[in-house]
Chains A and B, each alone.
Chain A
Amino acid sequence: MASKVNIVRVSTSFMDGMTSVKAQIEVSITPGLPSFDVIGLCDPSIRESRGRIQPALIASGFTMPKGHITASISPAYIKKSGTGFDLPIAIGMLMASGQLPASPGIRVYASGEIMLDGTVKGTPCASLRLRIDQSEYDRIFIPSDESDAARCAGLNCMTVTRLSELKDIFKDEDYQPSSFSVDDLDSIDEELPDFSAVKGQVKAVRALLIAAAGVHNILLLGSPGCGKTMAGKILAGILPPLKGPEIGDVYSVMEAAGLKDDPESGLVLSDRRPFRYIYPGMSRGRMLGVPSKLLPGEFALANHGVLFADEIFEFKREVMEALRVPLEDHVVRMSKDGRNFAFPASFVFVAAGNPCRCGMLYEEGRRCTCTPQVINNYMAKLSGPVRDRIDLVAEMRSISGEYLAQSAIKEDKMLNEKMKSYVKGAWEMQRERFNDGIFNGTCCNADADIFRASSEVVEYAAEIAEAAGFSARGFNRILRVGRTIADLDGRPDMIKSDVAEAGIYRKGGLQHARAGYKAT
């Protein structure tokens, strides 16, 4: 005897790798001995929802429907996990049993974990998971602690804190969604390190400005305590704020990496560019990510921001080599279960290191105790391919009191603001030249026409490269840096002095490493 089976459909989404996949949950209640099944290639975390939903319903003033309950999750061929299925299953049961009045054919999207007392909680990777097509749904419910993620996804939805709230907001006339977006995000005014921390180091300041303006990779060389880390933070501080989808990109990677919403790990929705710090003792997994868990590492976390590699010469060879892919392709690749995943990793790479083993090479008064051989070997630790991708090299040194006195006269309180506006101007020039998110330092080809470099300028760059014995890429990098210098000046056409200035950052302290130490 075929009878009409009472079936209700509720939609949700889950993470497959790094993409959000739409899932449909069908709930049926048929007469029979009370039972509750969840099927569809679920892992235990989903099946356990049976145990959570029953007490939660009762605690929220609903009743557990009588009869044979089946919740089937499709697509049933993909392995699924996660506790976000709790809320859609519960809504399906309530709709099927008539406890939530719904017009026929209503399309509901829900996601969230339910506690025994009926509280609704968010689940990991919300900002990526919530990237759904909203036009497909009439009702969208998400846990209220996923509202930051909803802002990233730009959802028009209602948040729930407790299951019992559904009674009051489910009806057509009661459903009043609010739209979430990142446009109205308040900028966090944070005390950023000031440029005066590196004052007196004219070359370093200028190099930092160029690095920020054209997204060039930069290497800072100097003795311990001369302000290299500070310089890296300053660079992050003068980058223009994140905008639009970039905010979501940064937030979702932080979520995926398991950062918690507390001051220590710093998961916070903001338009500030990330500043990530790596050091030689850091585990490979934390730096590159853990493929088996698809856990992004520091490289991916630095996307759209700054990656600061401290003591670059002390990094293990394998880690150093791992830097090549992100530096070249701006992604971190992972494979899991035979599938490949790529995390975007486009960042300003700031490397810092001592110029020699004792670190004193650039200090006044010949304080360095290294032999030429030791200096050479030390510099050679930076692998060639990585060195070739560094556009700017700046030497730093601790500033003596005499110098500080001199530079104090020229101190400029508004320096940070000025730098920010220069960088902003240069970014706008580059936006006109390329698409969004592509810069002089990251564009795939330094084309003389696009860069508006006359043949005279190109020949001059070749001359400089020739004289200093650069590789072909080195020549290319001079053009890029030169382009950024022109952008900082707001000039549409490049001139010879742009590439001439660019040459000075290219050689810097690495010269004696390449050409071999020459005693004078």
Chain B
Amino acid sequence: MQERDIKLLENTAIRFVTRLDYYVMRELISSGFVQKDSYPVMEDFLRIKKEASQAGFTEKTLSKLDDIISSRSKVMDTVEKYADIIEKQRISVLCKEDRDYPFSWKELSGMPPVFFAKGDTSILSGITHKGAVSIVGSRQPGRYSLYATREFSSKLSKKGVAVVSGMALGIDRAAHVASMEVGGKTVAVVPGGPDVIYPYKNADIYEKICAQGVLITELPPGQEVLKQYFPSRNRLISALSDACLVMEAGVYSGTLHTASFAAAQSRDVFVLPNSIYVDNCLGGLMLLRDGAEVLIDVDTVYERIMEQVDNRRALLQGEVDDGNDLAALRALARIAPENLSEEQWKLVICDEISEKPRNIDELCFSLGIPFTYLSSMVTILETEGRIANDQGKYVLTIHGR
């Protein structure tokens, strides 16, 4: 395990063991003791404590500092526990500086600085250019809602949009399954630790999501599912997506939470029109009355998502300077292919394959490179072990991601 990961785990452990809240953190940051967007560990708190007398902290902060330092051994034990689970279960720890940290979270406040992921984390950075949709709804949906969920999930997945949901039973489950069936990208945001399978009935798709998609959570490994975590989980679902599809929602349901988070985060909310005689649907209908969009066809949703993606790209344009931004590279590949270096071509090829497995003829057409050049590049990538040929189509290997 890397030093960085240990540090992030220690920070997480301090936050969870001592219930360090944002109020205290804000004070520490504003007083200059803690850098913004940094991950203070025990060492830092010890240092702060030494100098705390001159700083004029509020009482609450001072007591919290004492609290933290006194629970030092407990924190260290917890770090060990986390590290153990993470190693065994191949969970990754991500923070704001990572490439795969969702771009859409960076723009919002209150998003977790550190989170845990199990599976293919590149999906998260892929959302920046391909967009994501959250599909949420009841745990006991009607057949109509289920049918619509499957249809919208698979159609949007085929277009390359990531499907984000909460891995609950019912609508969530159907959304994940339909996306994975067509080889799409799916993100499950769960209300417990990354190693906790909840609900246990979904154990089968838990494994599948970790293999084909990605499962993320802000809660540390081993953390049990608690009721109060559900709404905060929902805010992550809506924050990660560009549009939120409400398939079926009761009047007092978590789904409505997700929808209101989405609205607050200025995401488009689409509601599937449903029967007025089914209690479980009234929440959704109320959203419609309040001005949510009616979910009718895939194209409208996709258009909206792409609008968001385009906005994001425009934002990013100023920031990209490492020359490896894929959207920019793809554009360059079309306009001035001769300007791309070999390494850049390889990135473009890998990106193309990451959408879905491609045979070489398709690659040749979609990239528009001369076949001789493409084929030698593909052999090189294969020799390097970044891609592999599976039944006539090229797929990314673990190293290629």
B-binding residues in A (CB < 8 A):
200-204, 206, 221, 355, 361-362, 368, 375, 395, 397, 403, 406-407, 463-464, 467-468, 485, 497-498, 500-505, 507-509, 511-512, 518, 520
Asked whether A467 lies within 8 Å of B382 as measured between CB atoms, the reply is yes
The 0/1 profile, CB within 8 Å of A marked 1, for residues 350-361 of chain B is: 000000000111
Nearest residue (CB) in B for A201 is B361
B395 within 8 A of A: yes
23 A-B pairs within 8 Å (CB atoms) are namely: A200-B365, A202-B371, A203-B361, A203-B371, A204-B361, A221-B392, A361-B391, A362-B391, A368-B391, A375-B391, A463-B383, A467-B383, A467-B385, A500-B375, A500-B379, A501-B376, A501-B379, A503-B376, A504-B360, A504-B375, A509-B389, A509-B392, A512-B389
Given contacts A202-B371, A361-B391, contact A407 B360 (CB under 8 A): no
Most chain B CB neighbours (cut-off 10 Å) among A201, A463, A467, A500: A500
Given contacts A362-B391, A463-B383, A467-B383, contact A501 B361 (CB under 8 A): no
Distance A520 CA – B383 CA, assembled complex (angstroms): 18
Asked whether B360 lies within 8 Å of A203 as measured between CB atoms, the reply is yes
B380 within 8 A of A: yes
Most chain A CB neighbours (cut-off 10 Å) among B385, B388, B391, B393: B391
Asked whether A200 lies within 8 Å of B361 as measured between CB atoms, the reply is yes
Most chain A CB neighbours (cut-off 10 Å) among B379, B380, B393: B379
Nearest first, the 4 A-B pairs at minimum CB distance are: A500-B376, A503-B379, A501-B376, A362-B392
Distance A13 CA – B377 CA, assembled complex (angstroms): 60
Asked whether B365 lies within 8 Å of A406 as measured between CB atoms, the reply is yes
Asked whether B389 lies within 8 Å of A497 as measured between CB atoms, the reply is no
Nearest residue (CB) in B for A460 is B383
| List of B residues within 8 angstroms of A508 by Cβ | 389, 392
B269 within 8 A of A: no
Number of contacts between A and B (CB, 8 Å)?
A: 87
Asked whether A501 lies within 8 Å of B375 as measured between CB atoms, the reply is yes
Given contacts A467-B385, A501-B372, A503-B379, contact A512 B391 (CB under 8 A): yes
Distance A195 CA – B109 CA, assembled complex (angstroms): 59
| List of A residues within 8 angstroms of B359 by Cβ | 362, 395, 397
Of the candidates A200, A206, A395, A504, which one forms a contact with B392 in the assembled complex, judged by CB atoms under 8 Å apart?
A395
Asked whether B382 lies within 8 Å of A503 as measured between CB atoms, the reply is yes
> A455 to chain B: closest CB distance in Å?
18
Distance A204 CA – B392 CA, assembled complex (angstroms): 13
Given contacts A468-B383, A512-B391, A520-B390, contact A504 B378 (CB under 8 A): yes
> B358 to chain A: closest CB distance in Å?
11
Nearest residue (CB) in B for A497 is B376
Distance A197 CA – B380 CA, assembled complex (angstroms): 30
Distance A497 CA – B379 CA, assembled complex (angstroms): 9
B306 within 8 A of A: no
Asked whether B383 lies within 8 Å of A485 as measured between CB atoms, the reply is no
| List of B residues within 8 angstroms of A201 by Cβ | 361
> A514 to chain B: closest CB distance in Å?
11
| List of A residues within 8 angstroms of B377 by Cβ | 500
Of the candidates B372, B379, B393, which one forms a contact with A206 in the assembled complex, judged by CB atoms under 8 Å apart?
B372
Nearest residue (CB) in A for B366 is A406
Distance A361 CA – B393 CA, assembled complex (angstroms): 10
Nearest residue (CB) in B for A478 is B379
> A508 to chain B: closest CB distance in Å?
7
Of the candidates A500, A505, A518, which one forms a contact with B390 in the assembled complex, judged by CB atoms under 8 Å apart?
A518
| List of A residues within 8 angstroms of B388 by Cβ | 518, 520
Nearest residue (CB) in B for A496 is B376
Distance A501 CA – B391 CA, assembled complex (angstroms): 19
B364 within 8 A of A: yes
Distance A203 CA – B375 CA, assembled complex (angstroms): 9
Of the candidates B361, B382, B385, which one forms a contact with A202 in the assembled complex, judged by CB atoms under 8 Å apart?
B361
> A25 to chain B: closest CB distance in Å?
63
| List of B residues within 8 angstroms of A403 by Cβ | 365
Distance A507 CA – B388 CA, assembled complex (angstroms): 10
| List of A residues within 8 angstroms of B372 by Cβ | 206, 485, 497, 501
| List of A residues within 8 angstroms of B373 by Cβ | 497
Asked whether B371 lies within 8 Å of A206 as measured between CB atoms, the reply is yes
> A28 to chain B: closest CB distance in Å?
74
Given contacts A504-B360, A520-B390, contact A206 B383 (CB under 8 A): no
Most chain A CB neighbours (cut-off 10 Å) among B378, B392, B395: B392
> B257 to chain A: closest CB distance in Å?
37
- Give the size category of B's interface with A: 20 to 34
| List of B residues within 8 angstroms of A203 by Cβ | 360-361, 364, 371, 375
| List of B residues within 8 angstroms of A463 by Cβ | 383
Nearest residue (CB) in B for A375 is B391
| List of A residues within 8 angstroms of B383 by Cβ | 463-464, 467-468, 503
| List of A residues within 8 angstroms of B389 by Cβ | 507-509, 511-512
> A187 to chain B: closest CB distance in Å?
31
| List of A residues within 8 angstroms of B378 by Cβ | 504
Distance A361 CA – B389 CA, assembled complex (angstroms): 13
> B109 to chain A: closest CB distance in Å?
40
Asked whether A407 lies within 8 Å of B365 as measured between CB atoms, the reply is yes
| List of A residues within 8 angstroms of B395 by Cβ | 520
> B353 to chain A: closest CB distance in Å?
12
> B211 to chain A: closest CB distance in Å?
10
Most chain B CB neighbours (cut-off 10 Å) among A204, A403, A520: A520
> B242 to chain A: closest CB distance in Å?
27
Distance A406 CA – B361 CA, assembled complex (angstroms): 12
| List of A residues within 8 angstroms of B360 by Cβ | 202-203, 395, 504
Distance A200 CA – B360 CA, assembled complex (angstroms): 11
Distance A507 CA – B359 CA, assembled complex (angstroms): 13
Distance A468 CA – B385 CA, assembled complex (angstroms): 10
Distance A375 CA – B359 CA, assembled complex (angstroms): 18
> A161 to chain B: closest CB distance in Å?
57
Given contacts A201-B361, A361-B391, A362-B392, contact A507 B382 (CB under 8 A): yes
Distance A497 CA – B382 CA, assembled complex (angstroms): 14
Asked whether B375 lies within 8 Å of A206 as measured between CB atoms, the reply is yes
Nearest residue (CB) in B for A503 is B379
Distance A364 CA – B361 CA, assembled complex (angstroms): 12
Most chain B CB neighbours (cut-off 10 Å) among A201, A362, A395, A504: A504
| List of B residues within 8 angstroms of A206 by Cβ | 371-372, 375
| List of A residues within 8 angstroms of B385 by Cβ | 467
Distance A504 CA – B392 CA, assembled complex (angstroms): 11
> B349 to chain A: closest CB distance in Å?
12
Distance A463 CA – B373 CA, assembled complex (angstroms): 19
Given contacts A362-B391, A397-B359, A512-B391, contact A504 B379 (CB under 8 A): yes
Asked whether B361 lies within 8 Å of A512 as measured between CB atoms, the reply is no
| List of A residues within 8 angstroms of B365 by Cβ | 200, 202, 403, 406-407
Distance A200 CA – B359 CA, assembled complex (angstroms): 12
| List of A residues within 8 angstroms of B376 by Cβ | 497-498, 500-501, 503-504
Distance A202 CA – B362 CA, assembled complex (angstroms): 9
Distance A511 CA – B376 CA, assembled complex (angstroms): 17
Most chain B CB neighbours (cut-off 10 Å) among A206, A397, A502: A206
Distance A395 CA – B359 CA, assembled complex (angstroms): 9
Nearest residue (CB) in B for A204 is B361
Nearest residue (CB) in A for B397 is A520
> A486 to chain B: closest CB distance in Å?
11
| List of B residues within 8 angstroms of A503 by Cβ | 376, 379, 382-383
> A444 to chain B: closest CB distance in Å?
26
Asked whether B392 lies within 8 Å of A355 as measured between CB atoms, the reply is yes
Distance A221 CA – B375 CA, assembled complex (angstroms): 18
Distance A403 CA – B363 CA, assembled complex (angstroms): 12
> B401 to chain A: closest CB distance in Å?
13
| List of A residues within 8 angstroms of B393 by Cβ | 362
Distance A503 CA – B375 CA, assembled complex (angstroms): 8
Distance A520 CA – B388 CA, assembled complex (angstroms): 10
Nearest residue (CB) in A for B379 is A503
| List of B residues within 8 angstroms of A200 by Cβ | 361, 365
Distance A520 CA – B387 CA, assembled complex (angstroms): 12
Distance A375 CA – B390 CA, assembled complex (angstroms): 12
| List of A residues within 8 angstroms of B364 by Cβ | 202-203
Distance A504 CA – B376 CA, assembled complex (angstroms): 7
